[in-house]
Chain A
Amino acid sequence: MFVLSFLEGVGKYLFMLRSTISKPEKVSMYWRETVRQMYDIGVGSFGIIAIVSVFIGGVTAVQFGYKFIELAFIPMWWLGAIVRDTMILELAPTITALLLAGKIGSNIATELGTMRITEQIDAMDIMGVNTTSFLVGPKIVGGVLIVPALVMVAMLLGTYGGMIAGEMGGFYTDQEYLYGLQDDFRPLYIRVMFVKSIVFPFLITSISCYKGFYVKGGALQLGKASTEAVVISSIAVVIANFLIAFIML
């Protein structure tokens, strides 16, 4: 039973994605909507992502730092490379995505769900608007365009957080850390980060749109859909995270 309804859900989700791809009635309207989404996601989430990344970078440096002090044979500048790689490979894209799943996932599901239960989507349908494409498309495209920039910021700020925290802990000087940052730099890691920062927002926005777009009922179902959007997109992100690492590394 569970498997069946899961498969049905996946089918409906893929159907939604398919009908999202169609020629826009009016390119300028779609673009306007996409820019609005980029702004909402980018500006709306910048603060929390910035704060969280600085601290996560700091914690990474401190925790490895204590271990390294015990293992006296490892040079402390190495921490620069370690913070850099964990930020690039894992923390920047994944933490950003999980924060976004919580924030924009519920926003999107609530926005579309409200439009559904107050007949706003029907109203657009009646006008002849392709509602899947107009309401879902710009959210996915906007997310995929702006999130890589957010991940980039998270990566830079996290690495910077590692520098400050390490200095405060007395592990290394700025120069040592910067030296470490340049050690054994692998472009592949950047590619992995890039792939993640496109796949994750795609999953979050499309799953949340799906949950909101097909809400039936009233306020209660809307709340439930919004929670499910967050839970399911978070799970999708961690699974995709594993698969990408598995395939690319």
Chain B
Amino acid sequence: MIEVHNIQKRFGEQLVLKGISTTFSPGKCNMIIGKSGAGKTVFLNCLVGLVTPEEGEILLDDRNIVPMSQKEKSVIRKEMGMLFQKNALFDSMNIEENVMFPLDMFTNKSLEEKKERVNFCLERVNLVNVNKKYPSEISGGMMKRVALARAMVLNPKYLFCDEPNSGLDPKTSIIIDELIKEITEEYKITTVINTHDMNSVIGIGDKIIYFYEGEKNWEGTNKEVLNTDNENLNDFIFASKFLKEIRNLNKK
């Protein structure tokens, strides 16, 4: 469970997050949507403690991460997994070493045990026979899956994904979305996903928050999101002329 109370973040003159409050429940895919520049990445970076907001609280199961020192954060971070927009795989390590890295760093398991866990996670994301390949040798969709395997290897309580589908084709996007959803439900992870892909929102979004210029402009479920009167949100969802036409046809 993550509770966010009124966080504000400023870069120089620009107020990027203008007092955001919300809650995210375990076992659910919580989606942040909004145009580029709306503040989604900054918000996610606040949740993981890479960016510190000037105001407000972020409670990860009642532990406020905002005032924490680097050392205190590093304890709580062992419970976090994160998928980065650019995957952030370590390019000096092969796939197996990438997924094993958190185990190497934070556990005292034997090599056998670590290998077993790594293979389990790789199989969970449907990747086999790539253990010895390097990130540069596999496709974008596979990299995303490796990143997901690495994010889940230590059994995280929280999973954060920044635009997990960017750069992927629609089919692969759906596969990644489904994986995230399954893992979230299976392990009761509190998952927060930034996206501007409406496909994912409708497909896997349990709770949806719409950011507009650094404010929370709307909040609801994926059932509600298509039938809202919120002008900004409608503009965002039905951005293309094609979609607007379809909606107008439906309304008639």
Query: CA separation between A129 and B106, bound complex, in Å?
Result: 9
Q: Is A182 an interface residue (CB 8 A)?
A: no
B104 pairs with A119, CB closer than 8 A: no
Query: CA separation between A23 and B154, bound complex, in Å?
Result: 22
Query: CA separation between A67 and B75, bound complex, in Å?
Result: 68
A119 pairs with B85, CB closer than 8 A: yes
Q: Is B63 an interface residue (CB 8 A)?
A: no
Checking B77, B85, B92 against A127 with a beta-carbon cut-off of 8 angstroms, the contacting residue is: B77
B74 pairs with A130, CB closer than 8 A: yes
Query: CA separation between A125 and B102, bound complex, in Å?
Result: 11
A26 pairs with B88, CB closer than 8 A: no
B105 pairs with A25, CB closer than 8 A: yes
Query: CA separation between A120 and B80, bound complex, in Å?
Result: 16
Q: Is A118 an interface residue (CB 8 A)?
A: yes
* Given A119-B88, A120-B88: A25 in contact with B50 (beta carbons within 8 A): no
Chain B residues positioned under 8 Å from A119 (CB to CB): 84-86, 88
Query: Across the two chains, which residue of chain A brings its CB closest to B77?
Result: A128
* Given A126-B48, A126-B50, A130-B74: A26 in contact with B106 (beta carbons within 8 A): yes
Contacts of B120-173 to chain A: CB distance below 8 A: 154, 160
Q: Is B118 an interface residue (CB 8 A)?
A: no
Query: What number of B residues sit within 8 Å (CB to CB) of A?
Result: 27
Chain A residues positioned under 8 Å from B240 (CB to CB): none
* Given A26-B106, A126-B48: A120 in contact with B74 (beta carbons within 8 A): no
Contacts of B90-104 to chain A: CB distance below 8 A: 90-92, 101-102, 104
Chain A residues positioned under 8 Å from B104 (CB to CB): 26, 29
Query: CA separation between A243 and B80, bound complex, in Å?
Result: 48
Q: Is B247 an interface residue (CB 8 A)?
A: no
Contact with A along B236-249 (1 / 0, CB 8 A): 00000000000000
Contact with B along A95-138 (1 / 0, CB 8 A): 00000000000000001001100111011011111100000000
A125 pairs with B90, CB closer than 8 A: no
Chain B residues positioned under 8 Å from A118 (CB to CB): 86, 88, 91
Q: Is B78 an interface residue (CB 8 A)?
A: yes
* Given A128-B74, A129-B74, A130-B70: A123 in contact with B91 (beta carbons within 8 A): no
Query: Across the two chains, which residue of chain B brings its CB closest to A118?
Result: B86
Query: CA separation between A123 and B161, bound complex, in Å?
Result: 12
Query: CA separation between A111 and B77, bound complex, in Å?
Result: 25
* Given A118-B88, A128-B74: A123 in contact with B106 (beta carbons within 8 A): no
Query: CA separation between A26 and B101, bound complex, in Å?
Result: 12
Q: Is B193 an interface residue (CB 8 A)?
A: no
Query: CA separation between A32 and B46, bound complex, in Å?
Result: 33
A120 pairs with B90, CB closer than 8 A: yes
Distance from B114 Cβ to chain A, minimum over Cβ atoms (Å): 12
28 intermolecular pairs with C-beta atoms under 8 Å apart? A19-B70, A26-B104, A26-B105, A29-B104, A115-B90, A118-B88, A118-B91, A119-B86, A120-B88, A120-B91, A122-B84, A122-B88, A123-B84, A123-B90, A125-B77, A126-B50, A126-B77, A126-B160, A127-B77, A127-B101, A127-B105, A127-B106, A128-B74, A128-B75, A128-B78, A128-B80, A129-B105, A130-B70
Please list the residues of chain A having a beta carbon within 8 angstroms of any beta carbon in chain B: 19, 25-26, 29, 111, 114-115, 118-120, 122-123, 125-130
Q: A122-B88, A123-B88 are in contact. List 14 more A-B contacts (CB 8 A).
A: A25-B105, A111-B92, A118-B88, A119-B85, A120-B88, A120-B90, A122-B50, A125-B77, A126-B48, A126-B80, A126-B81, A128-B77, A129-B74, A130-B70
